[in-house]
């Protein structure tokens, strides 16, 4: 029997609320508070630059400069280096107990990559992996990936550029990779493709690659969960 995964459409959240939401959901796993604790959170973030655990190169002055652009700034426990999240980017946080799937973080990351590559293919874009993290179109990154695992419970995830303003990335070296660019679905197709357009394709593809049954969060439960995350 395939695992069941609840889908939470969280709308647009600040990064801090998104972190708190993941903490609540991961606690459901660790404390066994919910029979169906596996959750796929889909959202957009308010503008924010985030750095991963390997990125100690950003000083307080750098942080102040980036905040001055109108974005928030967070240091996180995910893998990877600096990236940007903002409106027009589909952020997916799968909070899964890998013991119900496969107890391999490498397998998990690979399934995320395959999911994104197929989403792009469905839209007519040839995307690939590379020795660098994420998913690429040529030498331009279209999707950043950074995950965290604790006792095989996953947090963080991926950020797929749909119709995001790519100008935000000009102020950083995305994911610490020099001489590489950033792109989006809209940029590649030369037409506006919103997050809402991509979500149905992403859901279907995620279900296929993770061999799981997706079910929607009941609206009352979802509303309460988002209120708790914002408190």
The binding site for substrate comprises 78-85, 144-146, 157-159
Cβ within 8 Å of residue 201, ≥6 positions away:
119, 122, 123
Which phi and psi (to 5°) does residue 106 adopt? -60, -45
Is 175 a known active-site residue? yes
Q: Which of 162, 165, 158, 160 is nearest to 186 (CA)?
A: 162
Residues 113 and 134: their CA atoms lie apart, in Å, by 7
* DSSP structural state of residue 179: T
Picking from 68, 184, 180, the residue whose alpha carbon sits closest to that of residue 130 is 180
Rounded CA gap, 199 and 204, in Å? 9
Q: Note whether 185 and 162 are within 8 A (CB).
A: yes
- Measured CA to CA, the distance from residue 52 to residue 76 in angstroms comes to 5
120, 143, 162, 175: the catalytic one is 175
Distance CA(183)–CA(181), nearest Å, equals: 7
Q: 196 CB contacts (<8 Å, ≥6 apart)? A: none
Tokens read off for 107: 């397998």
- Residues annotated as part of the active site: 175
């Amino acid at each position: 029997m395939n695992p069941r995964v609840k889908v939470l459409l969280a709308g647009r959240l600040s990064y801090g609320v998104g972190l708190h939401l993941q903490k609540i959901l991961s606690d459901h796993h660790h404390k066994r508070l919910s029979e169906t604790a596996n959750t796929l959170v889909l959202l957009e973030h308010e503008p924010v630059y985030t750095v991963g655990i390997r990125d100690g190169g950003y000083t307080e002055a750098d942080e102040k400069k980036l905040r001055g652009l109108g974005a928030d700034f967070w240091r996180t426990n995910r893998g990877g280096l600096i990236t940007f999240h903002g409106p027009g980017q589909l952020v997916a946080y799968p909070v899964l107990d890998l013991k119900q799937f496969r107890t391999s973080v490498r397998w998990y990351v690979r399934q995320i990559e395959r999911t994104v590559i197929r989403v792009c293919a469905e839209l007519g874009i040839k995307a690939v992996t590379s020795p660098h993290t994420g998913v690429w179109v040529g030498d331009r990154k279209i999707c950043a990936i950074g995950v965290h695992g604790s006792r095989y419970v996953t947090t963080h995830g991926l950020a797929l550029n749909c119709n995001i303003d790519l100008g935000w990335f000009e102020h950083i070296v995305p994911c610490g990779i020099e001489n590489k660019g950033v792109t989006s679905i809209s940029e590649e197709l030369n037409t506006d493709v919103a997050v809402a357009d991509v979500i149905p394709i992403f859901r279907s593809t995620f279900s296929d690659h993770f061999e799981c049954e997706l079910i929607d969060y009941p609206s009352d439960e979802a509303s309460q969960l988002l209120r708790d995350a914002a408190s």
